[in-house]
Amino acid sequence: MCSRLTGMAMLMIFGLTGTQPARAEYGINFPPPAADVAQEIYDIHMLTMQISTFLLLVVFSIVIYSIYFHRKSRGYKADQHFHNTWFGNWSWVIVPALVLGVDLTIAHNADAVLKKIWDVPKGEKLMDVKVTGHQWWWEFDYLDHGIKVESRYIPKEQSGDLYLREVDNRLVLPTNTKIRFLHTSADVLHAFWVPELAFKKDAIPGYVTETWSELNREGVFRGQCAELCGTWHSRMPIVVESVSPEKFQAWVEKQQALKVAAAEEASADRTWSRNELISKGKELYNTKCGACHQANGMGLPPAFPPLNGSPLVSGPIEAHLDIVINGKPGTAMQAWSSLNDLEIASIVTYERNAWDNNTGDVVQPADVKKAR
Amino acid sequence: MSYTTTVNDPAHHDHTPTGWRRWLLSTNHKDIGTLYLLFALAMLFMGGASAMLIRAELFQPGIQLLDPDLYNNLVTNHALLMIFGAVMPAAAGLANWMIPLMIGAPDMALPRMNNLSFWILPAAGTMLILSFVVPFFPGGGTQINTGWTLYPPLSVQVGMSMDFLIFAIHLLGISSVLASINIIVTLLNMRAPGMTIMKMPIFCWTWLVTAFLLILVVPVLAGGVTMLLFDRHFGTSFFDAAGGGDPVLFQHLFWFFGHPEVYVLLLPSIGVLSHVIPTFARKPLFGYKSMVGAMIAVGTIGMVVWAHHQYTIGMSLGAVTYFMVGTIIISIPVGLMIFNFIATMWRGAMTFETPMLFAVAIILMFTFGGLSGVMLAVVPADMQYHDSMFVVAHFHYVLMPGAVFGLFAGVFYWLPKWTGHMYDERLAKIFFWINVIGFNLTFFPQHFLGLAGMPRRIIDYNVMFTEFNAISSIGAMIFGFSHLLFLYIIIKTIRGGEPATSRVWEGAKGLEWEVASPPPFHTWESPPKIGKEVA
């Protein structure tokens, strides 16, 4: 107990003096920037913080001096005419002028930084990454490479100390490349925030906002969704893996190969066995559907209905496929038409056979194709 | 200068109503003021309880006490209860009690409307609480998981409790607008002969500016939530891009109300300070005219900088530059106010009774919150701070000292006047110290959490944020429970105590101190003559 208290006291002292704490995970300031843009932001943050701290010290000193010396118990007599001295008569000009000076200093510096970082550089070739927020996962489309990464949080059992800061598929980005991020959302507002990249941008359904950055070092940078997006807002981590352009190229080629293989598998004109579909479906269900409908199929009523024992899931296959493919307007249930036929077939087969749903139905990719 | 003889003349008033009629049908500004204050006190405890549940959940990583929707529902309710339930009614209560006494008016200008504007509040409060409770009943739909900002499209997904909330906001808005009209009419028409507008006590000035702000911005919020209601039920697409609308439009409407609202919460407390500090420094307020000017400037500039709450929505460079510079400029009038307070203390003969302790705490802590506000105004840096715990720390440093502590100062300052009894100074000082230490322990560490990367409004967080969250939660428990002591002090003072003189404080100046403590049911039935000394 005693050592813990000492630890906390030390922590507060480190916090106040700004020295590097012994344990790096006690963050008290922004993490070291990983991009020039972020460095600019870091510097303006430090500048305004120093100006603020200085002004705070001035105010505190004057107030504490006054409290100590100008008190009745010390026999101090109130100066009834202080407000009518030249200082009293002109302070309404002097004080705003001084404050305006400070304001202009801050605004001038901030404006210079803003001009550098705000607009995406014109007339240059940038790598485009479309960032789409979903309830509650991120979708990253590498528009120049034709690949897509779906990024979801990893449950505590598997992620341990990195819980809520680790994802299944990271956003891999090359260093020394100007990247344009295009932010949008499939459902409600989200916001992309990785402190090392130092910007935050809202993802707004129906609109596209842009930001840009150029990573200047390799590393793994972690952030989170910053705009309240409903039930599992806390479970939308973002992990950026910054690698050299060569490694990035290799990664891209691997992803493209995987995509081709998956497409071939899905379009292969074959019939899948029930067990194959269920095992594929279980994995897909847990990553894509489990956040809302839960791994045990019980959902989180009333927002997210249970699938276990659901009349829809045990009813006609067509209705079940329809809601998966087209979603349910006005609710959090989105359209999953971007999944391929095999994936939808597996998920639907799994749902119809999992938990207490013993329909015994098998849905083949061909059925999904028909239903689209 | 004894006016009390005229007001105590028994021939003038013989009809003090009793029982429930006295309160329900009241048109007496003092009784309605008391009702407002009691309502605010009840809401303060409900809002505080929801905050303590939030902090209890955040004490450790993981989800222990609440589920995510209940957590978000509490976040929503905490804000709405505190802003609309506690701070605004408390400030209106002070206005009702003190404005007629201060300007030498027998009552508010529109006493029946005064009754109406209070009695709408319990109905609105009930709707607000229903919006929290309804989802727990079968068929009640989902909980309000949007936060008090109610941003669509999330707020369109929410179940029927959102409709309760929308109507609660309408009622609260009607109540505020009616009260504001009443205050403006009273201040402009009912001042005692000889009290020119530039001799009006500063508390009245702050309320005059506040009331204008409310009348200008509350209808905009009402419009915004009505559009939300239409989007939810009547097939419109104001905020739905798929139908040609824009989700960001709601944010503009909301913050066009929301930012001036900050000054609505702040200004009455600035008014209280403008009386407390001269009283306990035993010298006149420094810079009366610049105070009035600063207040009007804050109100005016505060109306046109709302989008600094939304730097991340993707505005153009020109727009963000404008909002940034405008926001930073607000530091000029606010800085002038703080300067005037410090200059009032300077070369005074100060004593430190509880209202003065709160006043000094406000000057120090509000300056801190104001300076972190300047940091937040800087657009590039706000790209980091936005929606992080840093913002939570900032606005609690502004609103807790700026609004709530100001109200505490006002309550302790005027409680002897209202009840006729001195409060227990020793207990009140204990309350002050526990309160202020608990407050700083709660919110200071949240700056670090925000900078390290913890977003706001999350129920669960990574272990890297554990230490500061634990400190913050311990602080919140101390801070929260300290208000039971506040309640005890108030009850004790109402029930009895050392009788207060009409002057109460040695350095107190102004008409409200010329009437007895407690004041008779009707005061200033014939207006006082204002000499030079009053202003």
Read off the pLDDT of residues A112-150 as tens digits, 9 standing for 90 and up.
999 988 888 888 889 999 999 998 899 999 999 989 999
Residue count (chain A): 372
Q: What is the pLDDT of residue A269?
A: 72
Q: Which residue has the higher pLDDT, B138 or B531?
A: B138
What pLDDT score does A15 carry?
Answer: 45
**Residue of chain B whose Cα is closest to the Cα of A37:** B380
CA angle at A9 for the pair A8 and A14, rounded to the nearest 5° = 95
pLDDT band at A26 (very low <50, low <70, confident <90, very high): low
List the structure tokens of B209: 């500016």
Q: How far apart are CA B155 and CA B159, in angstroms?
A: 9
The verdict on A85 touching B (C-beta cutoff 8 Å) is no
Q: In chain A, what residues touch B388 (CB-CB under 8 Å)?
A: 193, 226
> What is the CB-side half-sphere exposure of residue A7 using CA atoms within 13 A?
11
Distance from CA of B460 to the nearest CA of A (A): 6
Report how far residue B265's alpha carbon sits from residue B267's, in angstroms, rounded to the nearest whole number.
6
User: In which band, very low, low, confident or very high, does the pLDDT at A282 lie, cut at 50, 70 and 90?
Assistant: confident
Question: A interface mutation test: which of B142, B160, B228, B457 has the most A CBs within 10 A?
Answer: B142
The answer on pLDDT for B4 being more than 60 is no
* Candidates B317, B328, B330, B362, partner chain A, best to mutate (most A CBs within 10 A): B328
Residues of A within 8 A of B453 (CB-CB) are 27, 31, 193, 195, 222-224
A49–chain B Cβ distance below 8 A for any pair? yes
**Percent of chain B scoring above 90 in pLDDT:** 88
Question: What are the pLDDT digits (tens) for A193-221?
Answer: 999 987 889 999 999 999 999 999 999 99
Instruction: Check: CB of residue B238 under 8 Å from CB of residue B227.
Output: yes
Is the pLDDT at A275 greater than 50? The verdict is yes
Chain B interface includes A335 (CB < 8 A): no
CB of B407 closer than 8 Å to CB of B413: no
| Residue of chain B nearest A103, judged by CA positions | B328
- Tell me which amino acid residue A288 is: K
Q: How far is B342 from chain A (nearest CA, A)?
A: 7
* Residue among A8, A53, A199 minimizing CB distance to B471: A8
Share of chain B above pLDDT 70, in %: 96
Chain B CB within 8 Å of residue A340 CB:
no
Nearest CA in chain B to A182: B314
pLDDT at A371 over 60: yes
pLDDT digits (tens, 9 = 90+) for B414-428: 999 999 999 999 999
Instruction: Name the CATH superfamily housing domain A268-371.
Output: Cytochrome c-like domain (1.10.760.10)
- Hey, is B507 helix, strand or coil? coil
- Selected for mutation to probe chain B from A106, A166, A229 (highest B CB count within 10 Å) is A106
Name, in order, each residue with C-beta under 8 angstroms of B87's C-beta and a sequence gap of 6 or more.
B40, B265, B399, B403, B404, B407
Q: Comparing B51-60, B357-366, B522-531, which segment has the lowest mean pLDDT?
A: B522-531
- Would you state the pLDDT for residue A292? 81
CA closest to A193 among chain B residues: B384
B346 and A82 in contact by Cβ < 8 A? yes
User: What is the complex's ipTM, to 2 decimals?
Assistant: 0.90
Considering chain B, what is the average pLDDT of its residues? 92
3-state secondary structure of A199: strand
Q: Poorest-confidence range of A55-69, A259-273, B270-284?
A: A259-273
* Yes or no, beta carbons of A82 and B364 under 8 Å apart: no
| Closest CA–CA distance from residue B138 to any residue of chain A (Å) | 9
A27-44 pLDDT, tens digit per residue, is: 788 889 999 889 999 999
Which member of A25, A53, A95 has the closest CB to residue B339?
A95
DSSP secondary-structure letter at A205? B
Residue B352's nearest CA partner among B436, B475, B291, B440 is B436
Q: How many angstroms separate the CA atoms of A27 and A308, rounded?
A: 43
Phi and psi at A192, nearest 5°, equal: -85, 125
Is residue B315 a contact partner of residue A207, using CB atoms and an 8 Å limit? no
Q: Is the pLDDT of residue B2 over 70?
A: no
Q: How far is A258 from chain B (nearest CA, A)?
A: 32
Hey, which residues 263-292 in chain A have their CB within 8 Å of chain B?
Answer: none
Residue A11 confidence (pLDDT) = 45
Question: Quick one: tokens of A285?
Answer: 């269900």
Ranges of each domain in chain A? 31-68+82-118, 127-262, 268-371
Residue B481 has pLDDT above 60, yes or no: yes
Q: Report the CATH fold assignment for B25-513.
A: Cytochrome C Oxidase; Chain A (1.20.210)
Of the candidates B401, B390, B410, the residue with the CA atom closest to the CA atom of residue B365: B401
Contact B146 A52 (CB under 8 A): no
User: Alpha helices of A141-273 — where are they, by DSSP H?
Assistant: 156-159, 245-267
- Chosen from B254, B351, B387 to mutate, greatest number of chain A CBs within 10 A: B387
* Bridge partners, B350 (sequence order): A71
The DSSP element (H or E) to which A5 belongs, if any, is helix A2-17
Please give, rounded to a whole number of angstroms, the shortest distance from the CA of A248 to a CA of chain B: 26
Beta bridge mates, A223? A238
Contact B339 A303 (CB under 8 A): no
CB contact under 8 A, A118 and B320: yes
Which of A100, A189, A228 lies nearest to residue B247, judging by beta carbons? A189
Closest in A27, A62, A187 to B453, CB measured: A27
| pLDDT band, residue B535 (cuts 50/70/90) | very low
Whether residue A207 and residue B248 make contact (CB cut-off 8 A), yes or no, is: yes
Token pair of A103 as six digits: 């304001």
Residues 6+ apart with CB under 8 A from A192: A131, A133, A138, A181, A183, A200, A201, A203, A211, A223, A225, A226, A238
Residue A101 contacts B, CB cutoff 8 Å: no
The matching CATH number, chosen from 3.40.50.720, 2.40.30.10, 2.60.40.420, 3.40.50.300, for A127-262 is: 2.60.40.420
Nearest to B269 by CA among B86, B116, B111: B86
Contact B207, B108 (CB under 8 A): no
Q: pLDDT value at position B532?
A: 54
Mean pLDDT over A270-291 rounds to 82
A and B: number of Cβ contacts within 8 A? 309
* Domain edges within chain B: 25-513
Q: How far apart are CA A323 and CA A330, in angstroms?
A: 13
Chain B positions in Cβ-Cβ contact with residue A78 (cut-off 8 Å): 281-283, 347-349
Cβ contact (<8 Å) for A63 and B363? Answer: yes
Tokens 């201060």 map to which residue? B102
Q: Which of A76, A202, A205 sits opposite B349 (nearest CB)?
A: A76
A117 Cβ under 8 Å from any chain B Cβ:
yes
Q: If you average pLDDT over residues B22-48, what whole number do you get?
A: 94
In angstroms, the CA B431 to CA B437 distance is: 10
Q: Which of A209, A189, A207 is closest to A199 using CA atoms? A: A209
To the nearest whole number, what is the mean pLDDT of chain A?
86
CB contact under 8 A, B375 and A45: yes
Residues in chain A with CB shorter than 8 Å from the CB of B351 are 71-73
pLDDT class for B466, splitting at 50, 70, 90? very high
Q: Nearest by CB to B467, from A26, A76, A201: name it.
A: A26
Tens of pLDDT, residue by residue over A103-114, are 999 999 999 999
CA distance A220 to chain B (A): 15
Q: How far from A296 is each of A157, A285, B68, CA to CA, in Å?
A: 16, 11, 18
Query: Is there a contact between B284 and A232 if contact means CB atoms under 8 Å apart?
Result: no
**Radius of gyration of chain B from its Cα atoms, rounded to whole angstroms:** 23
3-state secondary structure at position B300: helix
Tokens of B359: 């006043």
CA distance from start to end of chain A? 63
Read off the pLDDT of each residue in A3-21 and give the average, rounded to a whole number. 45
Give me the long-range contacts of A311-318 (CB less than 8 A, separation at least 24). A313/A351, A313/A352, A313/A357, A313/A359, A314/A352, A314/A357, A314/A359, A317/A348, A317/A352, A317/A361, A317/A363, A317/A367, A318/A371
Contact residues, chain A, for B241 at CB < 8 Å: 204-207
Q: How far is B457 from chain A (nearest CA, A)?
A: 7
Query: What is the phi/psi pair of residue B59, to 5°?
Result: -55, -40
User: B135 and A302 in contact by Cβ < 8 A?
Assistant: yes
